Structure 1
Amino acid sequence: MEETTSKRKTKKWIILALVCVIALIGVCIWYFQFKRPHDIAVEDFNDAAAAVTEQNTELENTIADAQSILDSGEPPYDSATTDALTTAIADATAEMRDVPDIPDKTEDIINATNELLKPLDYSDTISDITAKQEALEISITQLKQVTNPSQDFIIQRLQDIDGVTGYQAVTEDHDPNGNLNKQGGYTAAVYFSSSAIDQNAVYGSDIVEKGTEGGGCVEVYASTEDAESRNTYLSAFDGAGFLDPGSHTVVGTVIIRTSSKLTATQQTDLTQKITDKLIEVQ
């Protein structure tokens, strides 16, 4: 009887041991074939997601800086710079890689990780946005420079132009048009002489008295509306013989005028030289 009881106990221990072994094998199979691969997949996904997020953050910061310039509402000299930056930001936003929520299934996690691990380089995109942002910032500065600039600024820029041999600003006591500081009139007007014109053939005792015939004039207005109004007025005399005002071009709130004694090509070239100097960011 005791032997039978002993055998039964032995069988129970053997069965228990087998159950434990089977359970251990099951746990090992679950851990190594399911749990561990899943954990590794999760780790790999998180690492890949972090790497993409880091690059996305750099791009997002670049976009935010550029967008702040657009949001400032400050107008540029060249509106194309605003369009270029707006397009660059839109393209960059569309290009940004999405970081999805981690899937539930291991296979789906691996597939998502592989998508995240595809080559990603925003350096060209960031450089493009930065360049277009700088162009817009420069253009904004350029417009400020030609928005009711001071008389001294005009003189300083005229000094650097080839072919401009002299300059003289009007005063309230010496102003051929009598418009200085009057409502709708110019806030400054600087006449200049040109080496392309024989100054002895132009009537007047000084540059202001010789007027635009001696070379030209840069007239400054408080607003674009005032400048455009003056330009329209001058247009009424285009080609009117001795009343011909010469060429006249609005740049910001400035009107650049050149002598009717210059050829059309000379007028165009001189106007461009003056424009370039006025908008040059130094």
Structure 2
Amino acid sequence: MCGVNYEDMDKKTEVNKMKKAIIGIITLLVIAAGGCGYYFEVYSPHEKAVTQFDTAKKKVEAKNKELQTSIDNSEKLINSKKEAYDTSALGKLKSADNSAKKALVSVPEVPKKTDAIEKATKELEKPIDYSTQISELKSASEAFENSVKQLKQITNPTSDFVIQRLKEVSSITGTQAVTENNDPNGNLNKQGGYTAAVYFTDKDVTEEVDGRDIVDKGTDAGGCIEVYPTKKDAETRNAYLAAFDGAEMFNSGSHEVHGTVVIRTSTNLTAAQQKDLTKQILDKLIELK
């Protein structure tokens, strides 16, 4: 019976172990090489794209916040239900507000794919300039607020205010407010009547007008500012005066409603003079100081 060579068997076992170890090392190196390729070719570019996207996103959001603040302020005015003298002021403010909202750059959620992220980032990195929208909102807001103030000035103003403003009209030579004792119409402070009435004389009226004082001379010597508590009262009065338009003896001159005020000018003035004087008076009444 032949003997077993255990020495040869041990050598073969060692060789097999070495082969397996080498194969294992090679396998690990292959896996490691593949992992490095994934990191540098896929993972790292993706993370870099995400970072650039976030940076661009934050810049756009900061710009949007600046414009949104102006939009929010304008919409507070729009929703305030305040009435303006210039009826177009609110419409212009709404138009500026709508244009500003349309100009806001939309910020998307970060895409999943790297190339889509890079494409979205390029869009976000485009220059943004909201200066025009912000300027238009500011201008329209100021115009609306000023127009609201103007309407307040011609909504049931005091006789002192009216006299002060009439004195600033170059052609007006004198003013006098009515009292309950000298009111020619007997309407002062009565229901449906005026809360103030200021008569005035004008240098462009060349005809001689009889009267003890300016109130007694009436509108023929220049005109009168009648102040009513509501616009409806002023319009009712204006409609009453319109019934005498063209009547030779009873024609009281021109008359226009602005706010709750009726601006009247003398029948002794030409149509052009009446129109010009009415405008000058109105401009002074709504002038903001």
* Residues 200-225 of structure 1: per-residue CA shift (max 9 Å, x gap): x0111111111111111110000010
Q: Which residue of 2 aligns with 1:103?
A: 111
In the TM superposition, what whole-angstrom CA distance separates every residue of 1:181-217 from its partner, at most 9, and x where no partner exists? 0110100000111011237x01111111111111111
Shift of 1:10: 2.8
- Match status 1:130 vs 2:115: no
- Note the 1:69-218 alignment, pairs <5 A: 69-198=77-206, 201-218=208-225
Corresponding residue pairs, total: 281
Residues 1:66 and 2:77 aligned together: no
Q: Deviations over 1:46-75 (max 9, x none)?
A: 111111111111111111100001111011
In the aligned structure 2, how far is the partner of 1:134 from the partner of 1:24?
67
Match of 1:26 in 2: 34
Equivalences for residues 185-264 of structure 1 within 5 A? 185-198=193-206, 201-264=208-271
C-alpha deviation, 1:82, in angstroms: 0.4
1:11 deviation in Å?
2.5
Structure 1 segments of 4+ aligned residues over 4 angstroms from their partners: none
* Cα distance in 2 between the residues matched to 1:8 and 1:203: 138
**Amino acid paired to 2:230:** S
Deviation per CA, 1:130-167, whole angstroms, max 9, x where unpaired?
A: 10010000011111111111111111111111111110
Q: Secondary structure, in 3 states, of the residue corresponding to 1:241?
A: coil
Aligned residue for 1:218, secondary structure, equals strand
Identical residues among aligned pairs (%): 49
- Alpha-carbon deviation of 1:177? 0.9
Q: Deviations over 1:217-260 (max 9, x none)?
A: 11000001000000000001112113111000100000000001
Cα deviations across residues 15-66 of structure 1 (Å, max 9, x unaligned)? 2222222122111111111111111111111111111111111111111100
Distance across 2 between alignment mates of 1:47 and 1:241:
79
1:55 aligns with 2:66: no
Query: TM (normalized to structure 2)?
Result: 0.94
- Measure, in 2, the Cα distance between the counterparts of 1:167 and 1:4: 131
> AA paired with 2:272?
T
Deviation at 1:88, TM superposition (A): 1.0
Work out the CA distance in 1 between the residues paired with 2:50 and 2:167.
Answer: 69
1:9: Cα distance to partner? 3.1
Q: CA deviation at 1:81?
A: 0.7
CA RMSD of aligned residues (A): 1.2
- Return the alpha-carbon distance in structure 2 between the equivalents of residues 14 and 269 of structure 1: 108
C-alpha separation between the residues in 2 aligned to 1:16 and 1:159? 107
Structure of greater Rg: 2
Distance 1:273 1:192 in 2: 14
Q: Distance in 2 between matches of 1:81 and 1:138?
A: 10
Letter in 2 for 1:96: L
Query: 1:41 aligned to 2:49?
Result: yes
The TM-score, its normalising length taken from structure 1, stands at 0.97
Q: Which amino acid aligns with 1:232?
A: A
Counterpart Cα distance in 1 of 2:256 and 2:269: 15
